[in-house]
Amino acid sequence: MTEKNDPFGVREGEISAALPETFDASLYFIGRIRTPWKDRKDCPKNAGQSRASGTVCTIELDPRWAPGLKDVKTCSHLVVLYWMDRSRRDLVVQVPGHYKAARGTFALRSPVRPNPIAMSVVQLVKIEGNILSVIGLDCLDGTPLLDLKPYFVSTDAIPEAKVGWHADRNDA
């Protein structure tokens, strides 16, 4: 574990871990996410901002997996897992540009994490063949898709949940 401030993207106060020498499991990219955002600076600040804007993005599922969409049209909302393929994986404490405070990686939704899997809850607008139109994504165009799941209120909706550091921040 090292603490440093180098020119390769580690900010003052950030801490990196030595990555393991080997991987433990492997993923298939099962499709691609199409969004209007070609550059990170153009992306919405977060999924909430994207949802508020009502921007419709599309998810192109590889035809190999398309039979797996049976019954999905009956879901109003989906959990989308995708791969933040441009993110470094070694930071355990990081300073997000818009917060200016050092936070633990597991207290953040930053794409920078040991396994850069993002999770977004989206509203399903329509499905045509292997193409899903959804509202609520905030990622770059071309982002690799990992999974789609039905969103169940009984287990996934916790309206009373709190993120203390976020509620208390004075740096937003």
**Footprint of a copy of itself on 8-67 (CB under 8 A):** 15, 17-20, 23-30, 46-48, 51, 64-67
Report the DSSP pairing between strands 91-94 and 77-83: unpaired
Say whether residue 154 binds a copy of itself (CB under 8 A): yes
Which of 11, 34, 79, 88 is in the footprint of a copy of itself by CB under 8 A? 79
Say whether residue 168 binds a copy of itself (CB under 8 A): yes
Distance CA 32, CA 144 (A): 5
Q: Which residues of 57-70 are buried (b: 16+ CB within 10 A; e: fewer)?
A: bbbbbeeeeeeeee
Which of 10, 43, 57, 108 is in the footprint of a copy of itself by CB under 8 A? 108
- Under 8 Å between Cβ of 61 and 127: no
Element (H, E) at 167: helix 164-168
Which of 10, 35, 43, 103 is in the footprint of a copy of itself by CB under 8 A? 103
Choose the stretch contacting a copy of itself; rule: CB under 8 A; options: 4-12, 33-41, 82-90: 82-90
